[in-house]
Structure 1
Amino acid sequence: SLQEILCDREIIAQSMQGHLDEGTEPWGVKVERVEIKDVRLPQSMQRSMAAEAEASREARAKVIAAEGEQKASRQLKEAADIIAQSPIALQLRYLQTLTHISAEKNSTIIFPIPIELLSLVKR
């Protein structure tokens, strides 16, 4: 693959030099150095490699997004469990939400049903 060629340029150059030495030694010629300076790929191969790289990036992005969703879900469940264990925590969250809403420049603020009424309905 291209990645192997780019990473192993020295090894490939040494191998090429060995093969060239075998062919030129009978003539009394010694190849001093072989370097791979440029690798040119056909356009079709460049396109397919670009498509493969793009697919790989998209796959990694989807995995990262899924892991983020999973982490957020766990934290949301943990918060719900804490709030379920403490009614005061729910009231504090309610007040925080109202404070946050009132800090924004909204012309209309809708107040949800008071928590006390919800607790009466549950009974």
Structure 2
Amino acid sequence: MKHPVDVHVGKRIRHRRWMVGMTQQQLAEKVGIKFQQIQKYETGMNRVSASRLWDIANATDVTINFFFEGLEGEERDLAMSAITGEATQGDLIVDREAQELVRSYYAIPEEQRRRLFDLARVLSDAA
């Protein structure tokens, strides 16, 4: 049975890899393992060791904390999704459209991005 923390960390690995435009093969090469192992990490099938997570964080240019962000509030939902194999409601990490939106958002220059964020906040309050 998959542990909810392993599932969460795996989703965050996949999310970050996708955000930096890296394939599983490219990440595997940077870390010095086979891409099949990256697949297993991303699904939560295999637990990521501390040293491997350190390598993955360096390869994707984030701190290790990135992989644990949002865990506390989602732990129960993650446990259920690990058991059922379904994404939890509101789990934007697995939504391709949300990933593309975030990737595009961070490609916008900072000043324009701030204005876009303010606009989005106003529009969501109006809805």
Give the TM-score taking structure 1 as reference length.
Answer: 0.20
Q: Return the structure number with greater relative CO, CA threshold 8 A, min gap 6.
A: 2
The structure with the larger Rg is: 1
Give the TM-score taking structure 2 as reference length.
Answer: 0.19
